[in-house]
Amino acid sequence: MSLTAKELQQIRGIGEVLSVRIIELGHDSFQKIVKLGESGLKTIKGINPKAIPDILEQARRLSANDTEARERKVAALRESLQGLRHSVQELTTSAKDRFSEKLSGKTGRKLTESLVRFIEALEDVEGKAGKKVKRTGKVVHKAEQHLEGLAEAGLKDLRKGLKKARKALQRVNA
C-alpha cells in the first residue's frame, strides 16, 4: 500500500519535507521503512539520527496495524463471497421448485449453463480475493445487487440476472 506524505507524517519525527524525501526515494510504506533499517534511514538527508530508533518502532507498529486491517478486509470479503455462493444455491433450488416442468428442455440447459458459468466466475474471484481487495469488494457488492429479487423472477429474468452478476464478477480481472 503506497502512503502519501501526509500519512507518513503519522510517525513522530517525520515532517512535511522529510516525508516527501522518503517517498521520493521509493519508501512509500511502513513496511519499507522498517526494512530500510537504521543504516538506511541515516542516509536520508535531514533525518535526526537520535530519532531513528523511535521512527523504526512507530513504523513497525503502524505496519502491523496495516496488515491486521487488510486481513480483516480479506476475511469480510471471503464471507461475502460465501454469502453470494449461498444465495445462488438458494436461487437454484427455488428455480427447480418453481419451474420443474420447464427445466427439462432447452431452457433448463441454458439456465444450468448460466449457473455453471456464474459458479466458475465466483471460484475465480475467490482465488483472487486476497490480491485486489478493494476492487473485489466493489464487484461482489455489484453482483449481490444483481442477484437481489431474482427469487421471484421469471426464468428469463433469472438467466439475465445471473449473467449480469457473472459479468460483474469478471470485472475483478479488468
> When comparing pLDDT for 35 and 129, which is higher?
35
> 161, 156, 166, 136: which is closest to 146 by C-alpha?
161
pLDDT value at position 79? 92
pTM of the model: 0.65
5-66 — its CATH code? 1.10.150.20
Which residue intervals of the chain bear CATH 1.10.150.20? 5-66
Tens-place pLDDT, residues 85-133: 999 898 888 888 888 777 778 888 888 898 899 999 999 888 887 777 8
Please say if the pLDDT value at position 74 is more than 60.
yes
Give the separation between CA 77 and CA 130, rounded to whole angstroms.
Answer: 9
